[in-house]
Amino acid sequence: MRAKVDIFSGFLGAGKTTLIKKLISESLYKEKVVIIENEFGEIGIDGSILKSTNIEVKEINAGCICCNISGDFKKAVKEVVAKYSPERIIIEPTGVAKLSDLLTACSSIELKSIIELNMVVTVVDVLKYDMYLANFGEFYRNQIMSSSIIVLSRTQNLEADKIESIKEKVEKLNNKACIVTTPWNKLAAQRIVELNHNNTKLSLQNEVNLIRRSLGTASMKSVKNHAGNEIFETWSYETPRRFSEKALVNLLKKIDSSSFGNILRAKGIVQGDNDEWMQFDYVPGEFEMRKTSPDYSGRLCVIGTNLNRENLKKVFSL
């Protein structure tokens, strides 16, 4: 059985080690885990911290594991597999690592028979995004573009509209990755792990899919007004914004208006202004709301015909 490999990339001080410790202490501690940790310098720093979790740590120093000592990295992986037979290997490269090169090394003929790529995570500090992009463009973009999960750090220190702006910039570089905007202390580590196993961007759409799920009496009446060959549209949106319960109720009442198109079904999970999370389900003329557990980001999906996407985005961005 091949060991699962999780790579945690991120620029200097973004919070990679903090995130790894969170995942291990809350979720991955039950597994047999080895961490391959690389510092760009002669002496590893974070290895001593990680050892406090009672997880085996293999340090590679004196260079970046994905450039001049690529051979040493492959050797280290082979040694780890042979010595510990781990279920999971967590790789924490130096902050200036080129992630795409590391992915290539993990997919090499020498390693693919003993390991399989699992999570590829990049941690992005929202407070330093623009500065790092301007000064370390190639390396920074490469980490974001090569990831399947992008975790925004320090979002608790920034207003929602600024988080939204950075999320949109990140999406321009990688629109396929799941982007975590919820502060880590509010989000269970297991939810981050689950993102890798589910196409979360599609799961919410599937839940509101008209073909698979009955819309109820009110919405079925609306469907009958359309031609049988009508093609339904889907609009999905992720947002870190908070909504008061009153504001969300008013919003759901508002989207009954024709200015948003003919909405037949909507579903979403959003953060409330009191740190609680709410889930809503909407069909024309009625909706319900209930409390739920925090998710990686506020997200919603709308399905219908002639959707006015600009108006929808505008109202859910207020």
CATH of domain 201-317: 3.30.1220.10
Show the DSSP H helices in 28-69 as ranges: 46-50
First to last CA, the chain: 50
Q: For the purposes of burial, counting CB atoms within 10 Å of the CB of 114, is it exposed (0-12), middle (13-18) or buried (19 or more)?
A: middle
pLDDT in tens, 11-38: 877 888 889 888 888 888 888 888 887 6
Read off the pLDDT of residues 239-282 as tens digits, 9 standing for 90 and up: 888 998 898 888 888 887 778 888 888 888 999 888 889 999 88
pLDDT digits (tens, 9 = 90+) for 265-275: 888 899 988 88
Q: What is the pLDDT of residue 96?
A: 61
Q: Which tens digits make up the pLDDT trace of 139-188?
A: 899 999 999 999 999 998 889 889 999 999 999 999 989 999 999 888 89
C-beta separation of 8 from 90 below 8 A = yes
Tens digit of each residue's pLDDT (9 = 90 or more) over 220-238: 334 444 443 456 788 888 8
Burial of 318 (0-12, 13-18, 19+ CB in 10 A): exposed
Tokens of 193: 């792990």
**Helix, strand, coil fractions of the chain, as percent rounded to 5:** 40, 25, 35
In the prediction, which pLDDT does 174 show? 94
Average pLDDT, the chain: 80
- Kindly state the average pLDDT of the residues 113-139: 91
Asked, colleague to colleague, whether 3-197 and 201-317 share their fold, the answer is no
Domain assignments of the chain as residue spans, ordered by start: 3-197, 201-317
Higher pLDDT, residue 168 or 304 = 168
- CATH class name, domain 3-197: alpha beta
For the record, the structure tokens of 297 come out as 């980001």
Query: Containing H/E element for 253?
Result: helix 245-254
- pLDDT value at residue 258: 79
Tell me the backbone φ, ψ of residue 74, rounded to 5 degrees.
-60, -40
42 pLDDT above the threshold of 60: no
